[in-house]
Structure 1
Amino acid sequence: MGDYKNVTVERDGPVALVRFDRKGNRNAFNQETILELTDVARRFQDDLEVHAVVLTGTQEAFSGGIDLKERSTRDEDAEGDLERRQVYYRGVKLCQAWEDMPQVTIAAIEGMAVGAGIALPLALDWRVMGKDAFLYVPEVKIGINLQWGALPRLVTLVGPARAKRICILCERMGSAHALDWGVVDELAEDGKVVERAMEMAREAASMPAPAVRMVKEAVNATANALHKAVSYADADQSQLSSSFTSAKSESDKFVKKTG
């Protein structure tokens, strides 16, 4: 399934394991990885043999978020406004492609899931998290909005007050907290997260596939009915907020602090 640099796909009958690994940088998303994961999701959409897909990063980090060093040169590299806007919307299209997959999708989260590293799992059906892993949404802290269509998905899972607290106070969230608030669905021992997610995937894949796909589509149509309407311009907002003086200052500080 494609020739990728940062993504591997392993098939085991009706179940597939998709793993992305930047080989460093806290497994942060660069543009290459975003495009590869989007292509994987789109290829699965017409797959009638695979019925459940597990997505994971590395044991050290599901993902440290967007690669801020690459992000800082994004506007300079774009040749025009349309190309710049297209780049900003790649994360939105990535998450939408995974949400649109007909298979049951499960995120296996080890280590950390930061910013965009949370946005992508929110687009999947279920999330399994390591007991010592943590979630962190730092976007407001660095002066930008949470995009990739993540905000309405988060509100649907945890409610408006908790979504505001997660995004505005930028508090690191441990696994027990994430489970209690409904951000994740199950915890597993560290190092066993993928194994547990694969068990769930096999169980889902053992069910009659047409019925599973119909139920998933019906639930998504109900729960996500207004998601696109309320987040359709979040990438444009991200491009705008990135130009704010506060965002430039805080983003530089964040990059220096996190390396």
Structure 2
Amino acid sequence: MANFVEIEKGLGRQGRVAVVRFDRGDCINALSAEVIRELTEAAESFDDDTETSAVILTGAKVFSAGADLKESEGRSSAALDMAALRRRLRTGSRLTRAWHEMDQVTIAAIEGFCIGGGIALAVALDFRFIAQDAHIRVPEIGLGMNMSWQTIPRMLQLIGPARTKQAIILADQRISAAEAYDWGLVEQVTEPGRSFQAAMELAGKIAAQPAIPVAMTKQTVNRLAGALDDLTSHMDLDQLALTCMTEDYREGVAAFAEKRRPHFKGR
């Protein structure tokens, strides 16, 4: 079995900081089915951890290029029946939910780029630090599918309705680090290669606070801010499943694989 995720605990002056690194050993760090499973298990491994107050999530040289459309498990989606497809697509929302619901304060350290499923994961965390030369992009609509994994309500809370539409509908748009900060999508822009160090500084400050009220405050804020999220986004998995059965989805994925612009027909 592959092992793309490493967990370090006991870091920081108080020993209450943990780091989760995921690295596929390439230049894109795509979220393959195995990486998604490992990252979900990593988040769940903190369920009974009372010694850790803050968790930093980081990639390697880049954060993530999003879901891996080149692996066979992803390419075969259009051939599945609806029941099997819905079961497969649940893995992404389970991943973001696991990270969103952690008691520990979570911080994303973003280098290079953060694309598609990568930003879906990042907005499920509490804070996002991004390097000055990094960028964000949400390409799903350009591939003939909708944005899922409860990303829309989380982005809506951070940047409002117009910016959320802009980020998702204009699928080819690169959102620079400076724009992401101006929009409120990230909390800090750092020098290139320094996002992790900045995240560690914040994690250390969090770890110096009493852990129980910190966890309670995080959960209270998340529950209040996201009180309607399940109600408003419970259909996003089924919307994704439906778009995976369209001609436009097949065309979008084929165009991606062939490195050409897609020609959508609205069906």
TM-score, normalization by structure 1 = 0.94
Measure, in 2, the Cα distance between the counterparts of 1:58 and 1:166. 24
Q: Which string of whole-angstrom CA distances, capped at 9 and with x for unpartnered residues, describes residues 150-196 of structure 1?
A: 01100111111110011111211000000000000001111111111
Question: Could you tell me which residue of structure 2 aligns to residue 73 of structure 1?
Answer: 76
Letter of the aligned partner of 2:51 in structure 1?
A: E
Q: Does 1:244 align with 2:246?
A: yes
Letter of the aligned partner of 2:75 in structure 1?
A: S
Measure, in 2, the Cα distance between the counterparts of 1:194 and 1:147. 27
Measure, in 1, the Cα distance between the counterparts of 2:27 and 2:87. 24
Measure, in 2, the Cα distance between the counterparts of 1:145 and 1:104. 29
Equivalences for residues 99-118 of structure 1 within 5 A: 99-118=100-119
Measure, in 2, the Cα distance between the counterparts of 1:163 and 1:4. 35
Q: Does 1:213 align with 2:215?
A: yes
Measure, in 1, the Cα distance between the counterparts of 2:2 and 2:251. 35
Measure, in 2, the Cα distance between the counterparts of 1:44 and 1:54. 12
Measure, in 2, the Cα distance between the counterparts of 1:126 and 1:148. 18
Letter of the aligned partner of 1:73 in structure 2?
A: S
Question: Could you tell me which residue of structure 2 aligns to residue 120 of structure 1?
Answer: 121
Letter of the aligned partner of 2:211 in structure 1?
A: A
Question: Could you tell me which residue of structure 2 aligns to residue 10 of structure 1?
Answer: 8
The size of the alignment, in residue pairs, is 253
Question: Could you tell me which residue of structure 1 aligns to residue 237 of structure 2?
Answer: 235
Match of 2:206 among 199, 204, 207: 204
Q: Does 1:151 align with 2:149?
A: no
Question: Could you tell me which residue of structure 1 aligns to residue 139 of structure 2?
Answer: 138
For residue 25 of structure 1, report the CA deviation from its aligned partner.
5.8
Measure, in 2, the Cα distance between the counterparts of 1:124 and 1:57. 14
Measure, in 2, the Cα distance between the counterparts of 1:14 and 1:4. 28
Question: What secondary structure does 2:6 align onto?
Answer: strand
Measure, in 2, the Cα distance between the counterparts of 1:206 and 1:4. 35
Question: Could you tell me which residue of structure 2 aligns to residue 42 of structure 1?
Answer: 44
Question: What secondary structure does 1:68 align onto?
Answer: coil
| Structure 1 unaligned spans of 5+ | none
For residue 82 of structure 1, report the CA deviation from its aligned partner.
4.0
Q: Which string of whole-angstrom CA distances, capped at 9 and with x for unpartnered residues, describes residues 39-86 of structure 1?
A: 111111221001100001112x2000100112112455x6x6544322
Measure, in 2, the Cα distance between the counterparts of 1:45 and 1:257. 42
Contact 1:109 1:193 in 2 (8 A): yes
Measure, in 2, the Cα distance between the counterparts of 1:4 and 1:69. 17
Question: What secondary structure does 2:108 align onto?
Answer: strand
For residue 255 of structure 1, report the CA deviation from its aligned partner.
2.5
Measure, in 1, the Cα distance between the counterparts of 2:59 and 2:145. 25
Contact 1:18 1:56 in 2 (8 A): yes
Contact 1:128 1:197 in 2 (8 A): yes
What's the C-alpha RMSD, in Å, of the aligned pairs? 1.5
